[in-house]
Amino acid sequence: MHCLLVNFIKERNNVNNINKSLLNINDKTTTHILGYPRMGPQRQLKWALEDYWKGRISQSQLLNEAADIRQSHWQIQLDAGLDFITAGDFALYDHVLNHSYLFGVIPERFKPQKPDGQLDTYFRMARGRSAQGDDCAACEMTKWFDTNYHYLVPEFEPQQGFQLNADVWLDELKQAQALTPNVKAVLIGPLTYLWLGKAQGEFDALELLPPLLDVYAELLHKVSELGIEWLQLDEPILGLDLAQSWKQGFEIAYNQLKSASLKLLIATYFSKLDDNLTLACQLPVAGLHIDGINAAQDLPNVLDRLPPYKVLSLGLVNGRNIWKADHARLLQVLTPFYETLGERLWLSTSCSLLHVPEDLEQETNLVPAIKSKFAFAKQKCFEVTALASALANYVDSQAAEPVNLNTSTQTVNAQAQGATQTSIQANVDTLKHTIEHLTEASFARSNDFKTRKAAQQAKFDLPMFATTTIGSFPQTKDIRQARLGFKQGSLSQQVYETIMRDEIQLAVSEQEAIGLDVLVHGEAERNDMVEYFGQQLDGYAFTDFGWVQSYGSRCVKPPIIASDVHRPNPMTVRWSQYAQSLTNKPMKGMLTGPITMLCWSFAREDISLKEQAFQLALALSAEVLDLERAGITMIQVDEPALREGLPLRQAHWQGYLRWAVDAFRLSVAKVKDSTQIHTHMCYAEFNDIIEAIAQLDADVITIETSRSNMELLKAFEDFKYPNDIGPGVYDIHSPIVPSQTWMAQLLQKAALSIAPEQLWVNPDCGLKTRAWPETREALTLMVAAAKQLREQHQTVNA
């Protein structure tokens, strides 16, 4: 990709043969970002939301906190010198949910019998519960494209009406305008919003485009009345494989919206445009944003297709990773665009900064040589403006005479780019040799599933509809305080480990009392399913405040793969061994798989993702074998991010799936037939990767299905899944406790697609974020539902 850009640069310079002394170097390169994180550097929004849900603060206190967070984020953008601050991207829970509320897409079950306030309806859609009103099933949640952010899926009815509820959103724009007149508003574009939704019934969501465009036009008029000049409309589906009807939808939509008195900037990101590039360039709008990181291959063709009136915004500061931009390389990429476009060239981040932590300045414990390589959201704002300034200086200096970038304004950046090459010790030769000498046998179990299942059943003697959980149990305040005390040194290791053993003993006794068939140790000692392992692997770096929103108030703190990864010591064996000593029932060892470790970390950019995945797999393989030797013969290797890692373009799927499946298999291939390997996957559409899931060859897979009412199991109707499967029967992301009848009905529905002999019974996901009373009640009812199904099956087969 880099070579392609280099050739493009040389070619463009040769063709243009520009006399640089005649360049108008005073042309201003406009700077902006596509969006900013929402939580606040200290996760202020998280704490405010959770306090509001628990009744500790009022609605006005929550909204005041949100306003303060927005204000501080806009001030950062101003301090960075960005030409526009970006407003309208903030959300109390999710920006897609914001749009559903904005356009009146509120399913009937969420509409209160009596008025209960906008926020109550909003949060009931997100969580199934609010301060007032009855509980109900929350909106389905799924991954935002190929990221680890989750959005609430809009629900469309055949006769869906749209009604503008824009006061709150417009008030946020006014708040921004009070700070500066240079405000760029942002919305999800109409085509992407429809694409993200789910049509309830047999109809195409695209049929709703005409009435949706009417409310968009109404909203654009209101934005224009505020005196705002530019509106960013996010259309990331332009990076997907689109049917012709959707391409025509773009032409219809933007030919209608072009009559607005606003200047529209269509923003694309996450993927290259490929065959949609010409469409994107020719749409009748004032500007186009292209992700210069993930769509770098599109850049050589953009200038030839962009109309002479249109702004081109290039996202060359990576909005999805924490590595500092390489200014020296980017200046060479930018030069031909600057020479051709002048003031029509804008600079930005590749996508919203929602996907990176907020402020590197808080990180005082990172090794300086490593820290110098990083840039978080705040720093990336400054990177955008620094790159724009450097571009003007660079072209100016080139007009006079060539300069050495390392002695120009880029010295600090260039030094940072090379810092870790000498500061981080790598194990390149050893790992490379191991990976290069892997054979087919390295990726395969000794025998097929049928043989293994017989050996496992002889060992475990499990009933039909065996019950288990996904891994974690409630992380109470006492657990969190103990971990914090140990980390800060106020608790000794001995005291801390005694507390953790007590928590494990509690989790085991609770599970035995409930009657679960296969137990877990509860993961009290773990802060995060990726960070916990990363802290025990060489090659990782960690932050103290590197939080990133996953959904709602839920944040994760991704570790950073900074160099080659290997396992110096066992990571989980002693905890699992202790838990197994407390029960005669099978105890699952719990590990995070290599693809999830990779996808939920900030990955390196200097070696391939495949090589990083195999390094992680080799480390996990050693842990799996140590668990087995310690007597843990059920081992769960979670891969919730398997589908998340898929390239957005289907043409690239097979290449990714090949090495992703191989990485998982490499992790578990060496265990005995009688050792049962489990895996778990989070919200995702499985239909299009069902064969790859089967190729993982896990003995048992558990998946999240309850929010979709088991619709995700449609993938298993046409494809006969060979191994065992546990479809989740209740949604752990909601505090609602489902009834035994509801769970039994879901299991009966699952049994229509999957043979009862293959079915396990489990929640959707881990129970870390739930409280013990609801967890205890829900699992008790789940076990009762499983027993009900066993009795019904025995009666039918009697």
- The model's pLDDT over 660-692, given as tens digits with 9 standing for 90+, comes to 999 999 999 999 999 999 999 875 567 788 899
Which tops the pLDDT comparison, 408 or 311?
311
Q: Is the pLDDT of residue 17 over 90?
A: no
Portion of the chain with pLDDT greater than 90, in percent: 78
Positions of E strands within 626-718: 634-638, 676-681, 700-703
Cα 539 from Cα 543, distance rounded (Å): 14
pLDDT of residue 200: 86
Mean pLDDT, rounded, of the chain: 90
Cα 361 from Cα 381, distance rounded (Å): 13
- The model's pLDDT over 399-410, given as tens digits with 9 standing for 90+, comes to 554 434 333 334
Cα 104 from Cα 496, distance rounded (Å): 51
Give residue limits of the domains in the chain.
449-474+516-524+573-796
pLDDT grade, residue 28 (50/70/90)? Answer: confident
pLDDT of residue 710: 66
Q: Is the pLDDT of residue 326 over 80?
A: yes
Cα 687 from Cα 470, distance rounded (Å): 22
pLDDT of residue 22: 34
Reported pTM: 0.87
pLDDT grade, residue 559 (50/70/90)? Answer: very high
Q: Is the pLDDT of residue 255 over 70?
A: yes
pLDDT of residue 423: 37
pLDDT grade, residue 707 (50/70/90)? Answer: low
Active site residue 733: yes
Cα 388 from Cα 384, distance rounded (Å): 6
- Under a CB-based contact definition with an 8 Å cutoff, are residues 464 and 793 in contact? yes
Tally the C-alpha atoms within 13 A of residue 556's C-alpha that lie toward its C-beta: 23
- Under a CB-based contact definition with an 8 Å cutoff, are residues 781 and 738 in contact? yes
**What is the distance between the terminal CA atoms of the chain, rounded to a whole angstrom?**
64
Nearest to 763 by CA among 519, 471, 475: 471
Burial of 608 (0-12, 13-18, 19+ CB in 10 A): exposed
Cα 53 from Cα 55, distance rounded (Å): 5
Tally the C-alpha atoms within 13 A of residue 21's C-alpha that lie toward its C-beta: 2
Q: What is the dihedral of CA 436, 438, 439, 444, to 10 degrees?
A: -150
- Under a CB-based contact definition with an 8 Å cutoff, are residues 700 and 724 in contact? yes
Q: Is the pLDDT of residue 167 over 70?
A: yes
Cα 142 from Cα 426, distance rounded (Å): 37
| CATH code reported for the domain at 449-474+516-524+573-796 | 3.20.20.210
Q: Hey, what long-range contacts does 742-747 have (CB within 8 A, 24 or more apart)?
A: 743/781, 743/782, 743/785, 744/785, 744/788, 744/789, 746/705, 746/706, 746/709, 746/710, 747/465, 747/785, 747/786, 747/789
The top-scoring range by mean pLDDT among 73-87, 134-148, 196-210, 527-541 is 73-87
Cα 311 from Cα 592, distance rounded (Å): 44
pLDDT of residue 117: 67
- The model's pLDDT over 585-625, given as tens digits with 9 standing for 90+, comes to 999 999 999 999 999 999 999 999 999 999 999 999 999 99
pLDDT of residue 714: 72
Q: Is the pLDDT of residue 228 over 60?
A: yes
Q: Poorest-confidence range of 44-53, 265-274, 392-401, 596-605? A: 392-401
- Under a CB-based contact definition with an 8 Å cutoff, are residues 539 and 564 in contact? yes
